[in-house]
Amino acid sequence: MRAIISPAKSLNTTLEGAASAASMPQFLSEAGALVQQMRDYDPVGLATLMHLSDSLAALNVARFAQWDADHSDRTLLPAVFAFNGDVYQGLEVASLTEDQVASVNTHIRILSGLYGLLRPLDAFRPYRLEMGTKIQVGEATSLAAFWRPKVTAALNTELDGQPLVNLASQEYADAVDFKQIEAPVITPVFKDWKGGQFKIISFYAKRARGLMARFIALNAPRTEADLFDFTLGGYAYAPSLSQPGKPVFTRTLETA
């Protein structure tokens, strides 16, 4: 079983990680071509394109200028240690043992606007390029359309018929052609009790996706039914709200 998650806007760039264990991203040539395209933007243009503040635009123009396709630099942080958003706080990889991190590397894949598809321990250079960025790449009319055939083929090769658990946001999941995935696709839904009903609350749902990624990495489930044992963060499987391929997990905020 593999699970796909989104990257994060927030990055750790000063932490020390297991850099010596970092592997090479599989789509470095494509990433390099995208960087070349992004170097055409000055800070004003990048701020407009990505809806960034002036300071963030300047930072990322500098990042694209400094980006190098050589990812053998042992000072580079593995991707899973670099991302620092809600999903990654749920995954909490810093609390895991070396063997558990290796299991994360086996079971989890990170979708990326720049790198396409990352293994958690792939070497990583800081960047900002969201999958929903409105750019045309070659004949592809969007970044997601550019990555879709490459990412889908890569996932099919890895899955070899094993289930794919979609824990990515819609923006990033758009980079996968799920109709062409040659395996069962499972998309868990996480709901919290609020206002007299169970609702998807974005902040909690993101954290829950990270918790589910952690559960998958540490327990190596093989089937959808194996996911029903997920209870991290106070969530519990809700069979009455679920349907095949879309299991729902609920909790009350009081148990969060």
Summarised one tens digit per residue, pLDDT across range 81-133 is 999 999 999 999 999 999 999 999 999 999 999 999 999 999 989 999 999 99
The pTM of the full predicted model, rounded to 2 decimals, is 0.94
Buried b (16+ CB within 10 A) or exposed e, 147-186: bbeebbebbbeebeeebbbbbbbebbbbbbeeeebebbbb
Residue 254: which pLDDT band, with cuts at 50, 70 and 90? low
Contact call for residues 198 and 241 (beta carbons, < 8 A): yes
In this model, does residue 255 exceed pLDDT 70? no
* pLDDT greater than 60 at residue 164: yes
State the pLDDT at residue 12.
83
- Residue 59 pLDDT > 60, yes or no? yes
Determine the pLDDT at residue 256: 44
State the chain's mean pLDDT as an integer: 93
Tens digits of residue pLDDT in 182-213: 999 999 999 999 888 999 999 999 999 999 99
